[in-house]
């Protein structure tokens, strides 16, 4: 009787682990913390998926007809591992090259300042000032991000900014009409990451200049999420 391939069995276990991580990661993000679920999928799940593919290929050859049993397990491992890695690649296409920073703004010389966000329990004790080392990185990586010109007086531009924020699914936390500022936050659906956003409106050239700053609460890198959020807001608020 042919023996069962241990390599194929181990590969199948790794493939199953990677598949399970896709479900457990988001659940733990909501029940424990975003970084817990994120770590389960990216460092651990990705490693398990890669191991499943490599060992699955080895197991496939070791279970050739007349040799050890377990070709089905090897095939499952290859399919599960490759599917996991392809899914991650598709979800993060174009974002993996984003610089490892998590605080983006359209005004690098005078970034908008967070006030309401400082009162959030999750931000207690955090330094919310803009990191100087991010300035050159943002200029190089996101040259398209610039102040938004709006052909409307500041009060109207602020109202448009609020409407744009709400249309994008942001939770508006505070509107300061006296200073022309708005603060909001957005929570990602899968991992429950929370990003804080501040919008500042100032008069400029008969209209208004709108600046945005978007900052992640967790991690150092953001896979380009904050820059994408600012671009979406720019398109939504119009000119």
> pLDDT confidence of 95, banded at 50, 70, 90?
low
- Long-range contacts: 183-188, Cβ < 8 Å, 24+? 183/114, 183/115, 183/116, 183/117, 185/117, 185/120, 186/229, 188/34, 188/225
Does 144 lie in the same domain as 39? no
- 183-192 own/partner pairs: CB under 8 Å, 24+ apart: 183/114, 183/115, 183/116, 183/117, 185/117, 185/120, 186/229, 188/34, 188/225, 190/26, 190/29, 191/25, 191/26, 191/29, 191/34, 191/37, 191/38, 192/29, 192/30, 192/34, 192/37
Does one domain contain both 69 and 151? Answer: no
Residues 192 and 91: their CA atoms lie apart, in Å, by 16
Looking at the structure, do residues 70 and 146 belong to the same domain, yes or no?
Answer: no
Mean pLDDT of the chain: 92
Residue 186's domain is classified under what CATH number? Answer: 3.30.310.80
Domain contains 73:
yes
Domain presence at residue 212: yes
Q: Is residue 62 domain-shared with residue 164, that is, in the same domain?
A: no
Ranges of H-type helices in 32-112: 34-39, 46-62, 71-91
Same domain, 162 and 211: yes
Q: What 8-state DSSP symbol labels residue 7? A: H
Of 41, 69, 91, which residue is a domain's last?
Answer: 91
Asked whether residue 140 falls in the same domain as residue 200, the answer is yes
Does the structure show a pLDDT above 80 at 90? no
For residue 238, give both structure tokens: 């119009």
Within-domain flag for 43: yes
Q: Tell which of 91, 113, 147 closes a domain.
A: 91
Is 96 part of any domain?
no
Residues 158 and 212 in one domain: yes
Residue 64: CA count within 13 A, CB half-sphere: 4
Identify the domain containing residue 123 by its residue range: 103-237
The predicted model gives 5-18 an average pLDDT of 93
Q: Which residues pair with 185 in a beta bridge?
A: 171, 196
Q: Are residues 142 and 211 in the same domain?
A: yes
In this structure, the answer to whether residues 123 and 76 fall within a common structural domain is no
Residue 159 forms part of a structural domain = yes
Question: Is 1 part of a structural domain of the chain?
Answer: no
CB 196 within 8 A of CB 185: yes
Residues 147 and 209 in one domain: yes
pLDDT at 94: 58
Give me the number of domains the chain comprises: 2
The 10s digit of each residue's pLDDT in 198-239 is 999 999 988 999 999 999 999 888 889 999 999 999 999 986
Q: Is residue 194 part of a domain?
A: yes
Q: How far apart are CA 76 and CA 73, in angstroms?
A: 5
pTM for the full predicted model: 0.82
Length of the chain, in residues: 239
Provide the 3-class DSSP secondary structure of residue 24.
helix
155 plus 190 within the same structural domain: yes
**Of the candidates 71, 91, 111, which is a domain's last residue?**
91
Q: Considering the chain, what percentage of its residues have pLDDT values greater than 70?
A: 96
Residue 147 counted as domain residue: yes
Report the chain's C-alpha Rg in angstroms: 24
> What average pLDDT does the segment 68-85 reach?
91
Residues 117 and 218 in one domain: yes
> Among the listed ranges 28-32, 91-95, 99-103, 129-133, which one has the minimum average pLDDT value?
91-95
């Amino acid at each position: 009787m042919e023996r069962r391939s241990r390599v194929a069995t181990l590969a199948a276990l790794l493939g199953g682990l990677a598949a399970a991580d896709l479900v457990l990661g988001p659940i733990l993000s909501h029940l424990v913390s975003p970084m817990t679920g994120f770590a389960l999928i990216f460092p651990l799940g990705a490693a398990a998926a890669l191991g499943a593919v490599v060992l699955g290929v080895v197991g496939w050859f070791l279970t050739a007809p007349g040799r050890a049993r377990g070709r089905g397990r090897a095939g499952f491992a290859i399919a599960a591992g490759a599917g996991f890695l392809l899914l991650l690649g598709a979800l993060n296409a174009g974002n993996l090259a984003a610089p490892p920073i998590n605080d983006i703004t359209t005004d690098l010389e005078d970034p908008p300042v967070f006030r309401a966000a400082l009162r959030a329990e999750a931000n207690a004790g955090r330094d919310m000032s803009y990191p100087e080392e991010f300035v050159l990185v943002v200029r190089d990586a996101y040259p398209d991000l610039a102040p938004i010109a709006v052909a409307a007086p500041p009060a109207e531009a602020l109202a448009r900014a609020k409407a744009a924020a709400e249309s994008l699914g942001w939770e508006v936390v505070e509107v300061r009409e006296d200073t022309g500022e708005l603060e909001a936050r957005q929570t990602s659906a899968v991992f429950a990451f929370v990003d804080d956003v501040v919008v500042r409106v100032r008069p400029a050239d008969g209209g208004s200049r709108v600046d945005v700053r978007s900052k992640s609460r967790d991690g150092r890198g953001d896979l380009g999420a904050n820059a994408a959020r600012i671009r979406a807001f720019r398109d939504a608020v119009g000119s």
